[in-house]
Structure 1
Amino acid sequence: MPRPVQAEISLAALRHNLGLIRQKAGRARIWSVVKANAYGHGIANVFPALQNSDGFALLDFNEAIRLRELGWQGPILLLEGFFEPDDLALIEQYQLTTAVHSFWQLAAIVNARLRRPIDIYLKVNSGMNRLGFAPDRLHAAWLEASASSNIGDITLMTHFASADSETGVAAPMALINALGAEMPLSHCLANSAATLWHPQTHADWVRPGIVLYGASPSGRWQDIADTGLKPVMRLSSQIIAVQPLQPGDRVGYGGRYCAAGSQRIGIVACGYADGYPRHAPGGTPVLVDGVKTAIVGTVSMDMLAVDLTPCPAAGIGSPVELWGAALPVDDVARAAGTLGYELLSALAPRVPVVTDQNLEVRMRG
């Protein structure tokens, strides 16, 4: 029997989430963001459920090529653009759209020998201060791009720094509106948070990422609890051992947890080498037999310990949900001092991944 830890991917939930985003986006087209191997869910796994997207957005050339190999013939956007001029050969070969956030990239395209024009997303820095042309240099970049026969369609792009907070999008939107008045371009502005909460940003294209996978852009599940979004990944395992503790007994490396009284703990086949956060403190929620309990002690490479006091009937073989439909990944992440983004995308390669489509085939078989 294989080790019992596995990740289950619900394609039904993913289709549902894409449909909800489609309703919220209105007339805007949708770039489904599948960077970081579809936020840990696996590009090949999610592709069947996302084929109604208008395009896919990602960072890695290999992932773009994988989408082409899977049969996707529509647009693919490189969110960070390209990293050296030689990359333009791949962009042309696989008909990719690229972000352009600096003058060296623009010069590389202008000076390249291309057989067909490349569509670009001209990125402006609207306050994030990561990538993008300074606002006072954007017009010059647009003029240079517009004059080149190597460049096809040009779309104005930015990324909001605070769309999930009280700061919101007012200041960057004022900047974009002022810049847009000078340049008749399509716009792609909205990330997950803006797509959900700021309809004035939707424009021509939106770029939903984490919300497609049923987690919150803010890191708080309560913020999306009334949206109808469904968690797509369920990380599960089993109890593989039970230890009875006496008062004063300690658990795990460093003995961080000390039993105050008689207690049973369960040992779960999941650890930080599977992608569970090593820094998760005692009290981080877990479901055993569908009952909410918590981890105790230090998370090990391959195992973690849980308190069985709330579920006295649990024993070896009892099912454990580390996160999923009944236990939002955002709740686990908040307890561990991080975000659902990190937990999902950190799923380790050694964890078997199955989809509800696979499970249905197994059941029919």
Structure 2
Amino acid sequence: MYCFSEDGTEMTGELPPLPSPVDYCNPSVLSTIQSYDFDRFEQLIGYRFHQRAYLIQAFTHASYSYNTITDCYQRLEFLGDAVLDYVITRYLYEHPKRHSPGELTDLRSALVNNNIFAYIAVKYDYHKYFRCHSNELFLLIDKFVQTQKDKSTWCGFDECNLGDDDDENDEFFYYDFLTSSASNNKDTYSNTITSCTIDDEHLSNSHDEQNDESTTEADEWEETEVPKCLGDIFESVAGAIFLDSNKSFNTVWKIYYRMLKPFIEKFTTKVPKSPIRELLELEPETVKFEKPERLLDGRIRVTVEIIGKGRFKGVGRNYRIAKNAAAKCALKNLRRLD
């Protein structure tokens, strides 16, 4: 079978050479590129771009109309996601501990994770170079950044606790910015509340949950929403480095390994599991997840019963998060019982 390009010429099995990202013969293109100052960012990540047009594209949101010389970051994000998935998978496969296939799957899901990517993006100031026309998105990013800066309400990068209070992504709670409190914080912009209690009276119905002050007696965590765009630009910059370095996987890995190292060391020491999986392994015969309930504010509540040990509840913006929250809540209380 032969493949042909749009102009009718036969295509070979070889990848075509990379085209220039912009027309450097155009004076306005050069002046636009020179108007962007990426010196500090390049110092932070330890890589100097040969063609900064890739970097401009990597930070341009689809809403940002002022950038007329490149596309938005979505194509680079697509490429960077694949590149990071490959280099992380290869590193895990070649790791001296020779993890089992199941452990490799869990490790990759833990590390190729939008929440971790967003966290590292803020650590290395990616957000300061992000360009978009959306006040709502900028407010979301600002609140996320401020939450990280508040050491009283988040786990710091170097000393983060990823064991018990981790965030959900594809059924994993690997990293979150959860605050534990005895009452609801009405000022938070959180989209997910993880509530856990053994006492059914606290969450007997949605009306009582929203109006009865007794609900504040329950153990409760509030999850700060992680802006997806931060994880996206973390991937798009990886794609930009890949193209700028003439498709060098080694160059991308050298830059990104340093950023990912704390998480890699944490997870390869103790392979993480999803709360649901861990709960089912701990109580294989007694776990029963009940049908989800929709609360008055639109959130979903899931209850899991451990026969003979109690009922535990989780609340989230969708069923998957709520189910994971319920499982996590059950695990915490079962450990206390032990």
TM-score (normalizing by structure 2): 0.20
Indicate the structure with greater helix content. Answer: 2
What TM-score comes out, normalization by structure 1 length? 0.19
